[in-house]
A and B are shown apart, each in its own frame.
Chain A
Amino acid sequence: MLKQLMSTEDSIIYSLKTLYKKSGYSEFKMRRFEEYSMYAQNKSFLMSEDIITFNGMGGKLLALKPDVTLSIVKNTKADTDNTEKIFYRESVFRADKQSHEYKEINQIGLEVLGNIDKLATVEILQLAMKSLEVVSPDYILDISHMGLIMSCLDDLEQAQAREEILGCIGSKNIHDLKNICMKYSVDDDISDRIVKLVGVGADIKNALEMLKPLIISDGMKNAYDELFEIYELLNLLGCSDKIRIDLSLINDIDYYNGIVMKGYIKGIHKDILSGGRYDNLTQKFNKSIGAMGFAIYMGDLLYFYSDKNDYDADVLILYNENSDLSAVVYEAEKLRSEGRIVRVDNKIPKNFKYLELEQL
């Protein structure tokens, strides 16, 4: 009964929070404002450089948080012997590319900080899949390993070339990729390999097979092995069928270093879940710990579900100056105890739709 009364958004959040709590993650609540200096020093880790700032009472420059992970990493007490597992539900404020306005983005996510081994990684991937399942059974979780593409680009010194190549990889744009490699005189060997890597997109088992002959360096081998071990464990657990490897998946290279993921729901035009391994960020804060997590963006879900109720209430009880008021209250409570939505009023509210009308 409770579920019916909740909006779909609320019930998803409720289910996700329950899922994370049951898995032993504790809820993290962050301060609404952060000092601007933290974001200014770590701009490259933020999705957008536009941050809403204002002066605090003491004259300090404060910011409305554009990101959650940064604060979590900054404040964490985790070390390799003391792993923290947390989840959060927060709003962040970022500039929107399309509307050129700030947008409030509702996020729910989790992070593991400290010692991230194979099991921790698999647990996070499983939780990501279960989270998507909460939204819809028609989902796909794409994963990749940043080490595979990045070790091909290691020798590339020109930042501009790197950026353009990464742009092409992210959009599976092979035709321009070849031209750009030529423009920056990238070795044919390397450019061929990148083209082949970008073409790897399949279920995890087949993708690993496609990937095997493309491994040439130690960096790539390590990344491959990590993916393979994860696959083996996921397979034993019987949950490898909705997870795919897609090497065109590139998350922010300053932030992420290992396994990255994006989750898609059929019918929603972009990824609603995004995350990965981000030791690069913890190192920036001089913490030698592993870190991995993901976030789900609730905003895009609002258009996926239409919570349009045909009725505002099951019953509208109307009373007037002659009514027995205690009888009105008694009747309303009785109906509510039967599980019905009841509104009490002395006039019919404008545009109000009800199934039954009772006049007392």
Chain B
Amino acid sequence: MRTAGITLISVALTCAVIGNAYYQKKQFYPSVVYITKSNPSMAVIYVQGLILVFIMNTFLRKIFFGNLRAAELEHLVERAWYAVTETCLAFTVFRDDFSPKFIALFTLLLFLKSFHWLAEDRVDFMERSPVITWLFHVRVLSLLTLLFTINGTMIEYAYMSTLTKGASVQLVFGFEYAILLTVVLNITIKYVLHTVDLQSENPWDNKAVFLLYTELIIGLLKVILYVAFVTIMVRIYTLPLFAFRPMYYTMRNFKKAFHDVVMSRRAIRNMNTLYPDATPEELAAADNVCIICREEMFTASKKLPCNHIFHTACLRSWFQRQQTCPTCRLNILRPTPANNGPRAQNQAPAPGQQAPQAAQAQGVNQQVDQPFQMPAGFWMGLQAQQGAGAQIQGQNNAPNIGLPPFQSVPPGSLPLFVPPFPPMVHLPPVPAPPPNLTTLTDEELRAMEGNMRQAVEARIQTLQRVQLLLDAANAMMSQYQTAAATANIPGPNVGSAAEAAEKEKKEEKANHSEDAGPSMSEQGKFAGEPLPGSSGVSNESIVQTDTKTMNATTSNENHATPSTSRTRTEPTDEKEMLRRRRLQKFIAQTTTTTD
């Protein structure tokens, strides 16, 4: 309404001015001369020209954009004010060239800029708009072609002008249009990407990555242009104040784009190396909906250490911002054992099944002596012990269980028999290594081998645990010795605990073979006992479990020899000393290995 009023007034004024001139001079040429000589008349004509350009602009905008959304209009007005201010600043630098033509060129530039902004907003909105009509495509395509042509022509004109007439205000125009050209390029790429995405039925995961790189490259181009422009301007004229604000924003955007690309790359790398793809079973077990996009997951999903499953693409875009699990906010870059351990163990896919074959070939004796030759087998063993503890009883073919279950010794390889070794300590969970070592690259292996502080700490902890287990085994062995001694076997003549155990075994087999089953299963229960806490190892817990086992053994013993319930003291000191020494030697060995 107001615009219409202003237009009407302006038209009326122009008519009055022209009418007055014609009324006074009666002829065309003198009238024109009269108007150009008269300042008030010229002012009216200029205002009229401006209003005509404005109307033209509105008309074109209607053609190419239709009705503007509120957000677009707001955006436009905000940017227009900055642009006008900067144009006025530019005038101060080129005040010598000040002429109507100059103003006309700047006005044209302003309006062209506004079209670029609008086109940018429109194309950005494509992704968010539920319906894209053919009209939209026609409009955007024709507009982009038009803008591209105009920018190209203007750059060429500015270039030729600068070449022939030397540096002038055309320098600014050439540069401004070059910047606009990069904008058009950016819009075009985005438009193509969005269009391709809209045509396809499935979400296009890599689009975000393409957009990131486009942003980065265009940002770089713009930064180079701005720096070149400012350098040239400083050399020829003066400091181009009017270019500083856009230059600052461009650089900031470039920095952000760079940061985004770096973060995105890191997220992708983390996802490819650290997190396994979710298997169909896992997807079926969960409710199968990615909580980020609320869509079903069929493929390309990742499982985080905390067991939450998301689309790979969704996770990537989230990890660009934050390195936490969206659901539980577990920091995924540093999964502490306490966080990922219990779950990882519960979820460990068939623990032990992929342990290296080498572990199977080696005797238990070797394993105890050099348990660090096959860390994978060791981890698997720990997991298997909890997961498959109940199955241990009666199984002679589980040699891949790396640690204590001594009953798995192939007969003859070692004259040592000990009943199934219940988990004496509540092992703090250990990070699960990748299942198959042969698929790892050298870097990954190196990373797993680990020379960082964290890795070393973990290794030392593990060694301490092993030490505790050995202590416990030692204690149990002495119990057996005592038991063997009380079972009417010549104690001092027992060459080794192994022999005692062997004899015990024979005795058991001979006398109470039917008792062995139940007692084994009882101990199997211990083995399969769920771990209540995942806290650190304490000597107390060892003692407790040890006592339990002792009781179990004692009851077993009582079954075996009900008549001979004697005291179970007098451990052979000699043996004890020997054992201690051996243990210390072993510990020293392992610590040096760690170092």
Q: Do A and B bind each other?
A: no
Using CB atoms and an 8 Å cutoff, list the residues of chain A in contact with chain B: none
Using CB atoms and an 8 Å cutoff, list the residues of chain B in contact with chain A: none
